[in-house]
């Protein structure tokens, strides 16, 4: 992902309301080193992030992303981010984002050990080209997440609902999916419930109802899933959060992975067995997701 722009942020207190946070921002050279070697928290993945889809300079669903940043920070006991400051940083990054499809990343890490404040920055980059995958879909394999449906509530230190910087497990799951001849993975609890993909939410269709796993299962509440549900409801479909089994997925009338940059991709096979897909609805969902929202 080619970085085009980066802005370091000196986080201010959430209660510090200002008309302009410009003096807390500094543009940095994307090719130059920027983090200190004392930045242990970032090395440990002890921080949170967001990836926002940008279409021709318009960042989509900014409010849902900054709210989730605050939610993730809260789960991780990080100081509450000043959302007005982050919104302004996003506006600046969007103005420097490349044309077409781009990505703005927000990063908030605990910072230098015993340091005065968290470390925060925003980048704007060219998005990968997902045109073919939106058209052709993905084959998924189900992978055991290694814990049951109650783990998130029983063990909050697993930080399951937070979008933390620690994505090593998610990347390992994608490599395992590729080793098994698939394109992507769906995590499944060890008591048989489907959760989410390593970088996307799962939506399944059963008749005229669209279902997704409830965030209380210890998954990320997807901003794209929220938008898709709103859109489907406006078209008269039913939507619902549920506990979904592997069988619900394999018996679905159609299923999608949805996320902010890749948008909507149809699941065409689960563990080697073909799954029905709906190319017209997939194209329609992507037309909606790629419009300014």
In the complex with ligand PLP, the residue whose CB is nearer, 42 or 199, is: 199
Shortest separation between residue 213's beta carbon and ligand PLP, angstroms? 10
- Minimal distance, residue 61 CB to ligand PLP, in Å: 8
62, 83 contact by CB (below 8 A) = no
Helix ranges restricted to H, the chain: 40-44, 62-75, 83-95, 131-136, 151-154, 168-179, 223-234, 246-250, 279-289
Q: Measured from the CB of residue 201, what is the shortest distance to ligand PLP in angstroms? A: 4
127 secondary structure, DSSP code: P
**Least CB distance to ligand PLP at residue 219 (A):** 6
Cβ nearer to ligand PLP, comparing 24 with 286: 286
**106 or 254: CB nearest ligand PLP:** 106
Q: How many helices (H) and strands (E) does the chain have?
A: 9, 14
Q: What's the closest the beta carbon of residue 143 comes to ligand PLP, in angstroms?
A: 13
Nearer to ligand PLP among residue 21 and residue 187 (C-beta): 187
Shortest CB 141 distance to ligand PLP, Å: 16
Q: Which is nearer to ligand PLP, 101 or 196 (CB)?
A: 196
Q: How far apart are CA 275 and CA 262, in angstroms?
A: 20
| C-alpha separations of 156 from 152, 164, 274 in Å | 6, 13, 36
Q: Please, what is the minimum distance in Å from the beta carbon of residue 191 to ligand PLP?
A: 20
| 3-state DSSP helix/strand/coil % of the chain, to nearest 5 | 30, 30, 40
Distance from C-alpha of 141 to C-alpha of 137, rounded to nearest angstrom: 13
- d(CA 87, CA 108) in angstroms, rounded, equals 14
24 versus 225: smaller Cβ distance to ligand PLP: 225
Task: Provide the CB-side half-sphere exposure for 165 (13 A, CA).
Answer: 21
- Which residues sit at the interface with ligand PLP, rule CB under 6 A? 51, 196, 198-201, 220, 222-225, 258-260
Residue 128 contacts residue 261 (beta carbons within 8 Å)? yes
- Given the complex with ligand PLP, which of 24 and 123 has the nearer CB atom? 123
CA angle, corner 231, sides to 226 and 235, nearest 5?
Answer: 145
């Amino acid at each position: 992902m080619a970085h085009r722009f980066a802005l370091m942020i000196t986080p201010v207190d959430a209660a510090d309301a200002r008309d302009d946070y410009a003096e807390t921002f500094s543009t940095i050279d994307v090719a130059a080193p920027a983090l200190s070697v004392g930045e242990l928290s970032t090395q440990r993945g002890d921080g949170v992030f967001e990836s926002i889809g940008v279409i021709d300079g318009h960042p989509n669903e900014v409010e849902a992303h900054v709210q989730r940043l605050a939610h993730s920070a809260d789960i991780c006991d990080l100081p509450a981010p000043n959302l007005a400051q982050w919104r302004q940083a996003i506006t600046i990054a969007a103005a420097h984002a490349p044309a077409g499809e781009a990505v703005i990343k927000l990063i908030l890490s605990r910072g230098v050990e015993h340091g005065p404040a968290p470390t925060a920055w925003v980048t704007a980059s060219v998005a990968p080209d997902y045109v073919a995958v939106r058209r052709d879909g993905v084959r998924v394999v189900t992978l055991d997440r290694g814990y049951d449906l109650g783990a998130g509530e029983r063990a909050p230190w697993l930080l399951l609902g937070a979008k933390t910087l620690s994505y090593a497990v998610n990347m390992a799951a994608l490599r395992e999916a590729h080793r098994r001849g698939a394109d992507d993975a769906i995590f499944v609890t060890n008591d048989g419930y489907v959760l989410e993909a390593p970088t996307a939410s799962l939506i399944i269709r059963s008749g005229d109802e669209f279902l997704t796993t409830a965030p209380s299962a210890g998954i990320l509440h997807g901003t794209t899933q929220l938008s898709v549900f709103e859109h489907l409801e406006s078209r008269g479909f039913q939507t619902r959060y549920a506990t979904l089994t592997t069988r619900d997925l394999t018996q679905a009338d159609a299923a999608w992975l949805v996320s902010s940059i890749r948008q909507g991709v149809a699941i065409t096979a689960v563990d080697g067995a073909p799954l029905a897909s709906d190319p017209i609805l997939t194209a329609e969902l992507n037309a909606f997701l790629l419009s300014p929202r």
